[in-house]
């Protein structure tokens, strides 16, 4: 199921992620309720399950889990938020609304 119908907003947030290749630093370039693009040099496999921590403007970290849907070696990967809990979705909605109403 492609959830790209969710509005993607441009952003530039610090992030950390853990996958099969270990832990990596990253940046989030764009984000929606359905997923995001993770800018990182770390390597990920398609359909790999990844734990992503996004640094929020408030200084808190939002932890999300998802599945890698695309990968560009040395650039980053697309992540589909496959396992979002209610409180995570609420935090995502808050983040996205702050990015769309400048």
Q: Which residue has the higher pLDDT, 21 or 99?
A: 21
Query: What CATH number should be reported for the domain holding residue 88?
Result: 2.40.10.220
How far is residue 92's CA from residue 68's CA, in Å, rounded to a whole number? 18
Q: Is residue 2 part of a domain?
A: no
Q: Is residue 3 part of a domain?
A: no
Q: Is residue 64 part of a domain?
A: yes
In the predicted structure, residue 5 carries a pLDDT above the cut 80: no
Count of domains for the chain: 1
Record the tokens describing residue 32, joined without a space: 């929606």
* Helix, strand, or coil (residue 40): coil
Q: Which domain holds residue 37?
A: 9-100
Q: Is residue 49 part of a domain?
A: yes
Question: What number is the average pLDDT over the span 23-49?
Answer: 96
Q: Which residue has the higher pLDDT, 5 or 11?
A: 11
Question: What number is the average pLDDT over the span 34-56?
Answer: 96
Q: Is residue 81 part of a domain?
A: yes
Q: Which of these ranges, 1-5, 29-33, 71-75, has the smallest mean pLDDT?
A: 1-5
Q: Which residues pair with 55 in a beta bridge?
A: 61
Q: Is residue 20 part of a domain?
A: yes
Question: What number is the average pLDDT over the span 34-62?
Answer: 95
Q: Is residue 22 part of a domain?
A: yes
Question: What number is the average pLDDT over the span 23-27?
Answer: 97
Q: Is residue 24 part of a domain?
A: yes
The structure's pTM equals: 0.88
């Amino acid at each position: 199921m492609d959830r790209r119908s969710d509005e993607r907003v441009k952003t530039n947030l610090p992030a950390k992620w853990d996958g099969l290749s270990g832990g990596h630093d990253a940046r989030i370039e764009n984000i929606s309720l359905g997923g995001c693009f993770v800018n990182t040099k770390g390597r990920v496999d398609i359909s790999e399950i990844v734990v992503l921590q996004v640094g929020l403007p408030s200084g808190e970290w939002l932890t999300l889990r998802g599945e890698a849907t695309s990968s560009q070696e040395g650039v980053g990967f697309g992540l589909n938020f496959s396992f979002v809990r209610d409180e995570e979705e609420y935090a995502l909605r808050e983040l996205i609304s702050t990015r769309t109403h400048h």
